[in-house]
Amino acid sequence: MYTHIFIQNLKTLRKRMNRIMKNMPLFFFLLFSTLVQSQEELLIENKAIRFQIQTKQDRIQFIVVDTLLEEKKPIFLWCQGSLPIPLFCEIDGHGTFFFGGGISNFDYKKIVAEYHLVIISMPYTPLLGRKENLNKHYQYVPNKQYPKTFSSSYIAADYLDNYVYRAKKVLKYLRHKKWVDNNKLVVAGHSQGSKIATKIARTNSKVTHLGLFAANPFGRIDQYVRQARLDAKQGEITWEKADSLMNNYYDFYAKSHQEDSIKKNPSLRAWSSFSELFYDDWLKLNIPIYLAYGTGDRTADLCDLIPLFFIQENKNNLTLKRYLHLEHNFFELDKQSKIDYDKAHWPKVMNDFLQWIQ
């Protein structure tokens, strides 16, 4: 399946298998072969090493961004945003593009110099997306004739607790590696990934630093209600239209909490799980928290209120970094609030975070 992937130390593996075949019954050979295959390490595009963990529910694939794993370093787990975008995407005329859950937007080599940078593939999404299965936004779709239809397996697995479970498995697996320094564990995420990172930090006492980028402290659904109100205030829509939209959002959110509705439409589970409050989790953490967002990001508007909650609780473990005139993905906005894709600021945003960690 992966034409650009090769198996490291293949000759050594074959010699081991030959010895095992001579000395073990067939049953045990098959069992051992399965275990080896489930944990094999593959070098992809000379950029990252792939691992996979087989569970009862899923095959969890993740990468460590490096070509050799010899130096002992802490883990930096990057939690990507939403949607089934493969970590590697095959693009016409450009070969294989290393998206990496969004790390291609910043100078990730600076992270790799100090940490083992880990990214977990989206559930039921191939690590390498072939062009025949990618829509125009590089999202994986089983049938390109239906570019907005994701796989049913991905939709059923796309909810908060599942992402946290998968990350728990990966971190537990990595803790036992000789090349991992367990004295430090950085977990960071963007957008939806900030919610996953939050829950990982709440459930894993080994996390030492938490980075949140373009986070919504109140979850997800509220930003659409706020947008409808703002559009009405600015005269872009009528108040009657805004009233109708907000009521529709309430009805939709109510359905996301009804099991009968979820059975009919499994995608609703993502809305209920990712729309819970998250700032209360931040207040319960005592580790250093870094909260960064752009002032032009409707999603993150309410981040401005978070320092007030920390002050009320006499907590001083929050660092808030506000980036002026930037949007959700840290691109600049012009005077008409249009995104200027030639002016990207992710490198600075991430470098600021790395400096803060140090």
170/54 same-domain check: yes
Burial class (CB in 10 A: 0-12, 13-18, 19+), 112: middle
| Cα(213)–Cα(148) distance, integer angstroms | 26
Indicate whether 59 belongs to any domain: yes
153/31 same-domain check: no
Tell me which residue of 121, 149, 125, 147 sits closest to 134, measured CA to CA.
147
204/73 same-domain check: yes
Indicate whether 254 belongs to any domain: no
pTM of this prediction? 0.87
Write the DSSP symbol of residue 96: E
Q: How many CA atoms lie within 13 A of 210 on its CB side?
A: 31
35/58 same-domain check: no
| Cα(321)–Cα(22) distance, integer angstroms | 62
Q: What is the CATH number of the domain that holds 100?
A: 3.40.50.1820
For tokens 């998206």, name the residue: 99
304/343 same-domain check: yes
Q: How many angstroms from the chain centroid is the CA of residue 61?
A: 13
Per the structure, the count of domains in the chain is: 2
191/281 same-domain check: yes
> For 335-342, which contacts have Cβ atoms below 8 Å and span 24 or more sequence positions?
337/296
Indicate whether 248 belongs to any domain: no
Concatenate the DSSP letters of all residues of 221-254 into one string.
THHHHHHHHHHHHTTSS-HHHHHHHHHHHHHHHH
153/29 same-domain check: no
* Helical residues (DSSP H) of 56-123, grouped into ranges: 108-112
Indicate whether 335 belongs to any domain: yes
Indicate whether 190 belongs to any domain: yes
Q: One-letter amino acid identity for 211?
A: G
Indicate whether 326 belongs to any domain: yes
Its domain, for residue 35, covers: 1-40
pLDDT 10s per residue in the chain (358 long)?
Answer: 333 332 233 333 333 334 433 443 433 333 333 333 334 578 888 999 999 999 988 899 999 999 999 999 999 999 999 999 999 999 888 889 999 999 999 999 999 999 999 999 999 999 999 999 999 999 999 999 999 999 999 999 999 999 999 999 999 999 999 999 999 999 999 999 999 999 999 999 999 999 999 999 999 999 999 999 999 999 999 999 999 999 999 999 999 999 999 999 999 999 999 999 999 999 999 999 999 999 999 999 999 999 999 999 999 999 999 999 999 999 999 988 899 999 999 999 999 999 999 8
Q: Is residue 345 helix, strand or coil?
A: coil
28/53 same-domain check: no
115/4 same-domain check: no
188/136 same-domain check: yes
29/50 same-domain check: no
Indicate whether 245 belongs to any domain: no
For tokens 């207040």, name the residue: 283
Tell me how far CA of residue 170 lies from CA of 59, 161, 187, 301, 342, in angstroms: 11, 14, 13, 32, 36
Indicate whether 242 belongs to any domain: no
111/201 same-domain check: yes
